[in-house]
């Protein structure tokens, strides 16, 4: 009998967390094997590994404790991967050599699967003097473009999807350019952007006071604070970026404020971290801990919660010792402070089981009580670990208890820390749980409301056909099992109908007892006024949130997955789309039509010949395979590799025009070449240009730098329908939605942030 509550849960496990041989043969035969693998690996550092393995397995069983995806996929595999989710890289020096040293470190971290954050405020503004070279600085945004290209290169090399956060202080001279940078749809696509907003700036906004933009003690410009705030708000209103981070509050509430300063977060914002800071994540599944759901006796079992939290803290503490790290500085930072980020998922479902309306005062109060219980259990568990294994190396009882969230912690917990120390400097964080929530049976994600009670998921078959299956929220399915066809009560609300300030109320309630931060998206209706939208951010600031991220569907950003709250039906299946998305490659016909192009790279003695063969589908030609050949034997290995990789992508179907853009973005540090009056940054970029010309010639894309000539989303739009936005890059369905700061596909679980 399967442990999975839904087909999508088993498919997520198979795709993301199941250990397999290199050829795809499963090593984990069942999900119990995956739990056993993780439990055994994390228990291996214990003095009694057999006993702890059983306790760890019991926590993982039935999806009660959900370690983050990197732990589920990597623990016990013997692979050279990091089990940590979050990194903030070192402070970027304001020098060319230092900047590129940092770029190298970022590439090494991303290669192992770490999401990274950077503060670009330390780079001098555009136009500032660079002494000794008789030149002006190009500014931080120019270097962010380099980081962006690096991330895309790592992605196209086959590694884990890249995710980066860039922050900039609200008083940096280039802040206005930073705010509007992503309004160019082709720029900084690998970054999330957030402005570091200070208390002084918020006071200036309220007072409509002037605000100095300065660097290195020099004032470059003075603006009105309210004008700058309005520019940030307008960009977020229209483009969903940048986010806002209340950086002074983060540093004030940091338990380690006595030995570190924070200026950046990980890509989704739930982990503010110092330079080289690292954190791992895990979530308590609250939906599994409710007894007597949908009855007057319903409650979350406090004993089970306490026991599970204590076990989870020990497991996560062991990950610090079991994990590899891309850089030695990250390992040192992790072991010196032993930060962990234990959070929750299934909160909205648990509230529904208790008959509470998400966003109400009662639900917020209940959320605060649960977070308090989790904080107490976490800190007391870490005290127990300190007695057994020692406190974190930088622990100083007097300074620690006089800092951050410790000032509001219960006195008995403070006394225990004073007496015995504490193993982990920070313990709680609420991270994005989109994929692991699906894996756990489609429980509500993190502290988000239920997104949709049910929707139709399109499943792509090997022959390219689509079937549909219903995906039901965990609590809704439980209601159906218990109540049959009885209508859902009025307190069942979802993200489509919830008022923005209800979101803020829940985030603020949870934040009080979370010592790091929270990844949450505040969904706003398309017709929200700009003034009301600004009020959401002001409310977040006034009620103690550490940051704010919103999403308002519109013609620019597209919409989240559209589901009727009354009918519980998803959008109708796509009709007439010419793009076919496949899970298995197409079979090769015996004969194909194609064209061969000669490319003479100036720096190479021999020409390169590029053949692109096409297949006809639905009366239209599309690329099927590529062959790249040269007499130059120095090119042999990489041209063969490129031939195989591009052909494999083409044979999967779908909108493969991104291959062109990835190739064209590759730059050669040794220099490019001028060809036909245009500077080409590398030989790979030149190959990308050749393939692009072929795709234009066969009508697959509309023109240079453009996507599909026949836009699949245009063909399924109807008059009056809300904008859909982009298709999922993994499966092609229009089920992308923004959850906890990440664009996530409801059909296949693909997420930009992992």
Pairing state between β 115-119 and 86-88: parallel
The Cα 147–Cα 106 span in angstroms is: 8
Contact 441, 4 (CB under 8 A): yes
**pLDDT level of residue 708 (50, 70, 90 thresholds):** very low
List pLDDT tens digits, range 275-325: 999 999 999 999 999 999 999 999 999 999 999 999 999 999 999 999 999
Mean pLDDT of the chain: 86
pLDDT tens, residue by residue, 463-489: 556 677 888 999 999 999 999 999 999
pLDDT digits (tens, 9 = 90+) for 565-595: 333 333 333 333 333 333 445 667 778 888 9
Contact 474, 444 (CB under 8 A): yes
3-state helix, strand, coil in the chain (%, to 5): 40, 20, 40
Dist. CA 662–CA 657, nearest whole Å:
9
Of 9, 48, 114, 609, the residue nearest 334 (C-alpha): 114
Token pair, residue 355, equals: 């008959």
pLDDT at 86: 85
The CA-atom distances, in angstroms, between 412 and each of 426, 525, 753 are 18, 45, 38
pLDDT digits (tens, 9 = 90+) for 249-258: 999 999 999 9
Per-residue pLDDT of 72-97, as tens digits, reads: 999 999 887 889 988 999 999 999 99
User: 647 and 625 in contact (C-beta within 8 Å)?
Assistant: yes
Q: How far is CA 520 from CA 99, 281, 314, 513, 551, in A?
A: 31, 15, 26, 16, 10
Q: How many CB atoms lie within 10 A of CB 489?
A: 12
Q: What 3-state DSSP class applies to 525?
A: coil
Indicate if the pLDDT at residue 157 is higher than 70: no
Strand partners, 701: 708
Residue 533 backbone phi and psi in degrees, to 5: -60, -45
Strand partners for 628: 610
**pLDDT above 50 for 716:** no
Measure the CA–CA gap between 421 and 258, rounded to whole angstroms: 16
Is residue 118's pLDDT more than 70?
yes
SS3 323: coil
The rounded distance, in Å, linking the Cα atoms of 182 and 192 is: 9
Q: Are strands 340-345 and 522-523 parallel, antiparallel or unpaired?
A: unpaired
Q: Strand, helix or coil at 196?
A: strand
Residue with tokens 């056993």: 36
Q: What percent of the chain has pLDDT over 70?
A: 86
The residue among 80 and 60 whose pLDDT is bigger is 60
Q: What is the 3-state secondary structure (H, E, C) of 659-717?
A: HHHHHHCCCCCCCCEEECCEEECCHHHHHHHHHHHHHHHCCCECCCCCCECCCHHHHHC
Contact 279, 340 (CB under 8 A): yes
Nearest to 274 by CA among 250, 249, 246, 241: 250
Q: Specify the DSSP class assigned to residue 20.
A: B
Phi, psi of 291 (to 5 degrees): -100, 150
Contact present, 623 and 612 (Cβ < 8 Å): yes
Task: Say which range, 112-126, 149-163, 260-274, 575-589, has the weakest mean pLDDT.
Answer: 575-589
Report whether pLDDT(458) > 60.
Answer: yes
pLDDT for 578: 36
Q: What is the pLDDT of residues 394-439, one digit of tens each?
A: 999 999 999 999 999 999 999 999 999 999 999 999 998 888 999 9
Residues 6+ apart with CB under 8 A from 580: 464, 617, 618, 653, 654
- Per-residue pLDDT of 348-362, as tens digits, reads 999 999 999 999 999
Query: Contact 284/138 with Cβ under 8 angstroms?
Result: no
**Before 242, cis peptide (omega within 30)?**
yes
Residues catalogued as catalytic: 266, 268, 270
């Amino acid at each position: 009998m399967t442990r999975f509550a839904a087909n999508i849960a088993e498919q997520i496990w198979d795709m993301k967390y199941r250990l397999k041989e290199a050829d795809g043969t499963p090593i984990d035969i069942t999900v119990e094997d995956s739990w056993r693998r993780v439990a055994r690996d994390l228990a291996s550092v214990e003095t009694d590994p057999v006993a702890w393995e059983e306790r760890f397995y019991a926590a993982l069983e039935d999806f009660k404790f959900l370690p983050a995806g990197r732990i589920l996929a990597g623990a016990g595999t013997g692979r050279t991967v990091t089990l940590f989710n979050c990194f903030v890289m070192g402070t970027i020096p304001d020098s060319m050599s230092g900047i590129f040293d940092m770029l190298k470190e970022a590439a090494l971290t991303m290669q192992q699967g770490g999401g990274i954050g950077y503060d670009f405020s330390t780079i001098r503004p555009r136009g500032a003097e660079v002494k000794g070279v008789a030149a002006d600085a190009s500014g931080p945004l120019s270097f962010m473009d380099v980081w962006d290209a690096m991330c895309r290169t790592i992605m196209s090399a086959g590694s884990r999807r890249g995710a980066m956060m860039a922050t900039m202080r609200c008083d940096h001279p280039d802040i206005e350019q930073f705010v509007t940078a992503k309004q160019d749809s082709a720029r900084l696509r690998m970054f999330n952007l957030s402005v570091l907003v200070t208390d002084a700036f918020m006071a200036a906004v309220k007072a409509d006071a002037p605000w100095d933009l300065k660097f290195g003690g020099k004032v470059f410009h003075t603006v009105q604070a309210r004008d700058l705030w309005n520019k940030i708000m307008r960009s977020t209103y229209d483009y969903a970026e940048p986010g806002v981070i209340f950086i002074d509050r983060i540093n004030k509430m940091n338990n380690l404020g006595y030995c570190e300063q924070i200026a950046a977060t990980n890509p989704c914002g739930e982990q503010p971290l110092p330079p080289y800071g690292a954190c791992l994540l895990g979530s308590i599944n609250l939906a599994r801990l409710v007894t007597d759901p949908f009855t007057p006796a319903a409650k979350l079992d406090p004993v089970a919660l306490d026991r599970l939290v204590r076990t989870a803290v020990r497991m996560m503490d062991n990950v610090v010792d079991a994990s590899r790290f891309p850089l030695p500085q990250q390992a040192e930072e992790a072991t010196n402070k032993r930060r962990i980020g234990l959070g929750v998922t299934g909160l909205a479902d648990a509230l529904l089981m208790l008959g509470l309306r998400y966003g109400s005062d009662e639900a917020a109060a209940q959320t605060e009580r649960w977070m308090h219980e989790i904080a107490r259990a976490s800190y007391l568990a870490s005290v127990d670990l300190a007695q057994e294994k020692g406190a974190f190396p930088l622990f100083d009882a007097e300074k620690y208890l006089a800092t951050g969230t410790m000032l509001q912690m219960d006195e008995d917990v403070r006394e225990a820390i004073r007496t015995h120390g504490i193993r982990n400097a920070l313990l709680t964080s609420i991270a994005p749980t989109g994929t692991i929530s699906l894996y756990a049976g489609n429980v509500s994600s993190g502290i988000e409301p239920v997104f949709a009670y049910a929707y139709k998921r399109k499943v792509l078959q090997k022959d390219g056909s689509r079937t549909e299956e219903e995906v039901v929220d965990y609590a809704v399915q439980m209601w159906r099992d218990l109540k049959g066809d009885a209508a859902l009560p009025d307190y069942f609300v979802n993200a489509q109908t919830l008022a923005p300030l209800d979101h803020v109320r829940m985030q603020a309630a949870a934040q009080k007892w979370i010592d790091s931060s929270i990844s949450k998206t505040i969904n706003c209706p398309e017709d929200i006024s700009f003034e009301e939208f600004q009020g959401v951010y002001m409310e977040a600031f006034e009620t103690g949130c550490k940051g704010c991220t919103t999403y308002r569907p519109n013609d620019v950003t597209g919409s989240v997955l559209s589901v009727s709250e009354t009918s519980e039906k998803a959008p109708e299946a796509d009709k007439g789309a010419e793009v076919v998305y496949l899970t298995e490659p197409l079979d090769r016909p015996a004969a194909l039509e194609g064209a061969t192009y000669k490319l003479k790279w100036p720096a190479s003695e021999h020409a390169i010949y590029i053949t692109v063969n096409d297949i006809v589908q639905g009366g239209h030609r599309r690329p099927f395979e590529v062959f790249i050949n040269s007499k130059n034997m120095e090119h042999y290995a990489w041209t063969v590799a490129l031939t195989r990789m591009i052909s494999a992508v083409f044979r999967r179907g779908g909108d493969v025009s991104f291959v062109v853009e990835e190739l064209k973005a590759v730059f050669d540090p040794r220099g490019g070449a001028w060809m036909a009056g245009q500077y080409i940054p590398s030989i790979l970029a030149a190959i990308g240009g050749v393939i692009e010309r072929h795709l234009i010639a066969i009508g697959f894309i509309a023109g240079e730098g453009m996507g599909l000539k026949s836009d699949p989303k245009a063909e399924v739009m109807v008059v009056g329908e809300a904008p859909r936005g982009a298709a999922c890059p993994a499966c092609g369905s229009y089920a992308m939605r923004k959850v906890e700061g990440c664009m996530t596909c409801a059909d296949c679980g693909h997420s930009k942030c992992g």
